[in-house]
Structure 1
């Protein structure tokens, strides 16, 4: 059996490994480290939880032992898809490089540029970054990548899912052609294959497990539920989740609950806390300080249930997770492998329980096709039944209410279309349109009443001598007053033609 002492690592690195309690490398480590130490490009394909981080961290520290970093020119670069994974790589570097003088910098979002600029200005041997923040520093002129000797891309398939591939290609082009590239991924999508063919030079391919396979140390279960009403599916699943956690009892020392949407993460976390569970949410919309605080609480055991979006599904090294619950089945089948890979790590036993409703049938078939097995079905917890609120029939609709569910009139009809029931006075009868002429036709009583009121107002104005005083007979369609200039005639008379005698007199004069 291969041991770390057989891999020609730096003695200081071996000391750190021993102090961390490790003796035997995992298959991906045993396969990748010798090629990396020889300066070859490495393409590592392994499922999550197999120790890929140490596969590139240990040879990097050994290769960088000699040499010195220059200001703003890091000697090596590690790209990670999420802030949490980048922070975890930085922690691993601290553990394995504590007996060396190598320096590092962590460039992630949610942290001020000023502190990161200071580290870069001093010069760092290892730069660990997310693609977006790295390019921000480069475009601000604070960073040069021409001195990169070793470049690592971790969780490349996650980079693809998050849309980072164009950034990765640009970063590759900013680094020297002579660099050594270590490329790690859990799956090999066609786009990932294209990048490796373009930017890696005759890489040593290390594949320690079939792509997208689940670990044999994980016990998988699927619990199906059919709510009485479709609009109560979320409530029914929350009740089932609480029952499943309680049914696991003391065996569930801690667990990660995965949801597809960030809004559901907050709702499920709030629901669990309301019912007495020790739970907290983590997703991309939270402040970085809060996310790190929540992760630290989960790692040290003060937090039992971590309610997460897929931001926590990749690369996070929390070795003692006993359970994973899929509150939602993932829409991408590959994410199922990464999610349940949070448990059963480093040879430990783990349990993964997924909840499914009839609407999840499509996702379930895709997952089972990917992992090439049928997920074992499990019964509902003993004594479990949905609450009355989750099974209550929908409230019958009042026929007097509009179909939109609004009891009040729509905005477009307010003040206009009133039903006889709403109005205190009878509606005015419909009168066919007739053109206005000088002598109005016989009017209805309502019209006569309106006409009398208008005539009274005219009479009042005449008596007060107002501006609308009487100027003669009213003109239909022109109101009560017609300006004088309209009544005047503007016709001009054409002058008579001069006679012959007048023409002669004019010419003689």
Structure 2
């Protein structure tokens, strides 16, 4: 079934065709007719299924009739991150090229004054992150009484980022009857409660079971010692035939450190995390999309919904502590039926093993173990586990009562090693002169 059978206008169909799309994805085929009929929609779909077009395309046709008034947008799309909001804005520009719709993007990192000028002119489509939207609302620069269509996108990500109270405030401030389109990859209890509170007899569309992974992705786990994670990553990057790839870390600090390490080893790499200014983040993303950057080291700010075509590889440098995040991370590859590869670097620590077990339980399958990396048998654990003659010497010393701690192995890339747990204060490395007793003179 082609797009022409979904009820879209000729202008919208022409823009879709010019973008290179012939057939809708399952969620597009099911959602677009329902949205055009004016029904509330509850869409449950994993990332990479094309849900952005499932609401932008029908919204363009619905909003083609009517006129926006100053500070009273006709539709509102809420996104959890600046990048997702900017991506939806790009989709409206691409698919709405044959319609004269006005649009405003309200995200952090951009001057309030420029955004207020757009609102004063009146906009048909307002795309915003919850915090910045409420800032404008509380300043009296925005009215929500003219909203005809409300879209809440990536609702479970909103929950993870703590935005659900803001979303509830916004929904409560839209008094008139309106159409609500609600999309989420998973349905945890707080999200389910929200849908029951603000949706009216919605059409539920589920194109994949919550938290499923695409069958086109080859998933593998590489187990290493805690001090060999960077070496394992470099070995994978060297071994694999990578067109482009995203490397995910759990913390912004680790993003910076892994980026610096790969740069030192001459990889073509960029970084993306929350501490970067918005123009810099957008510039890095564009360079990655344009294949000027081959590898992108990122925090989970990049894990959801970013439309980066044909990513060949995803690497989890850190095992995500929330199993759902694993699904969204590896969903950056294997999109639209393409083949993809996802590698997760796991240490033997209790936390990593617990997180891995939770992931396998969630996705309903055991992830393949890759034991072909060839980092050596000790894989970085020789600092704590002596082997061969060293072990014999340690046993002899222990029996004689002269046991000493084994000498720490000096890795070739010692600058890349860091402890799994953060060091508090000076840790065990307190300088000797600070530990010497101080003799006070009698006064």
Q: Tell me, which stretches of 5 or more residues in structure 2 are unaligned?
A: 385-404, 409-426
Shift of 1:280: 1.3
Shift of 1:387: 11
Q: Tell me, which stretches of 5 or more residues in structure 1 are unaligned?
A: 228-232, 418-427, 429-449, 451-509
Shift of 1:194: 0.1
Can you list the C-alpha shifts for 1:179-232, whole angstroms capped at 9, x where unaligned?
10000000000000000000000000000111110001101011111x2xxxxx
Q: Which has the larger radius of gyration?
A: 1
Residue number in structure 1 paired with 2:359 = 367
Shift of 1:176: 2.8
Counterparts of 1:54-453 in structure 2 under 5 Å?
A: 54-225=53-224, 227=225, 233=226, 235-248=227-240, 251-359=241-349, 360-382=352-374, 384-385=375-376, 391=382, 405-410=430-435, 413-416=437-440
Shift of 1:392: 5.4
CA distance in 2 between counterparts of 1:117 and 1:367 reads 44
Shift of 1:391: 4.8
Residue number in structure 1 paired with 2:38 = 39
Measured at CA, do residues 42 and 385 of structure 1 come closer, stay the same or move farther in structure 2, by a change above 3 Å?
same
Shift of 1:332: 0.2
CA distance in 2 between counterparts of 1:137 and 1:390 reads 54
CA distance in 2 between counterparts of 1:136 and 1:403 reads 46
CA distance in 2 between counterparts of 1:210 and 1:404 reads 50
CA distance in 1 between counterparts of 2:254 and 2:141 reads 39
CA distance in 2 between counterparts of 1:238 and 1:158 reads 28
Higher relative contact order (CA 8 A, sep 6+): 2
Counterparts of 1:477-492 in structure 2 under 5 Å?
A: none
Shift of 1:346: 1.1
Runs (4 or more) in structure 1 with deviation over 6 Å come to 386-390, 393-397
CA distance in 2 between counterparts of 1:176 and 1:25 reads 34
What SS is found at the alignment partner of 1:17? helix
Residue number in structure 2 paired with 1:460 = none
CA distance in 1 between counterparts of 2:435 and 2:86 reads 54
Shift of 1:10: 1.5
**Does the 8 A contact of 1:239 with 1:386 survive in 2?**
no
Q: CA RMSD in A?
A: 2.1
Shift of 1:405: 3.6
